[in-house]
Amino acid sequence: MVAQEELIQKALEARKLAYTPYSHHKVGAALLTKDGKIFTGCNVENAGYTPSNCAERTAVFKAVSEGYREFTAIAIVGGFDGKPLPICAPCGVCRQVLREFCDPDTFQVILGTDNLNEKKVFKLGELLPLGFGPENLKGEK
Ligand code: THU
């Protein structure tokens, strides 16, 4: 059983690798698979701006591209260097990407900071109510 604090630590480590020459807003994510493996990700910006990728999606795409599709939690940390990190909530696109693979009723979204005692935890469904997911295209739910 991986503790929420361990996932936040991994996200903080991943955040150090963020490539953010334009926004300087650095984000790290740590995604936990059902069998206890952790995939990390950081945001990767681009001179063309729109090709930039968020930390959460980097983590999901790394995991899926290595054969993992079942997840139980993600920790996210983000903010600017030189000040305490605030709570950083995932953007709408990342919420939708998580919705593709994660159960909205059980998947935990852990929003951490650089203070391990300060965090907010949500279920994915709380952050993406009435979400559109794979089951909608199978005529289920
Ligand atoms: N960003 C993330 O990586 N994840 C989020 O949840 C919010 C925003 C990134 C995208 C961009 O590189 C920078 O933060 C500013 O939007």
Of the pLDDT bands very low, low, confident and very high (cuts 50, 70, 90), residue 139 is confident
Burial-class residue 83 by CB neighbours within 10 Å (0-12, 13-18, 19+).
exposed
CB-CB contact of 18 with 29 (8 Å): no
Q: What is the mean pLDDT of the chain?
A: 97
pLDDT tens-digit profile of 49-79?
Answer: 999 999 999 999 999 999 999 999 999 999 9
**Confidence at residue 130, expressed as pLDDT on a 0 to 100 scale:** 97
Atom of ligand 1 nearest to the CA of 55: 3
Pocket test for ligand 1, best of 23, 26, 43 (most atoms within 8 A of CB): 43
Burial-class residue 44 by CB neighbours within 10 Å (0-12, 13-18, 19+).
middle
Is residue 141 scored above 80 in pLDDT? Answer: no
27 close to ligand 1 (CB < 6 Angstrom): yes
Residue having the nearest C-alpha atom to atom 2 of ligand 1: 54
72 close to ligand 1 (CB < 6 Angstrom): no
**Confidence at residue 140, expressed as pLDDT on a 0 to 100 scale:** 66
Please give the share of the chain, as a percent, with pLDDT higher than 90.
95
* Rounded average pLDDT over 37-51: 98
User: What tokens were used for 100?
Assistant: 């593709």
45 close to ligand 1 (CB < 6 Angstrom): yes
**Confidence at residue 2, expressed as pLDDT on a 0 to 100 scale:** 83
pTM check: above 0.75: yes
**Confidence at residue 78, expressed as pLDDT on a 0 to 100 scale:** 98
The active-site residue, picked from 5, 6, 45, 56, is 56
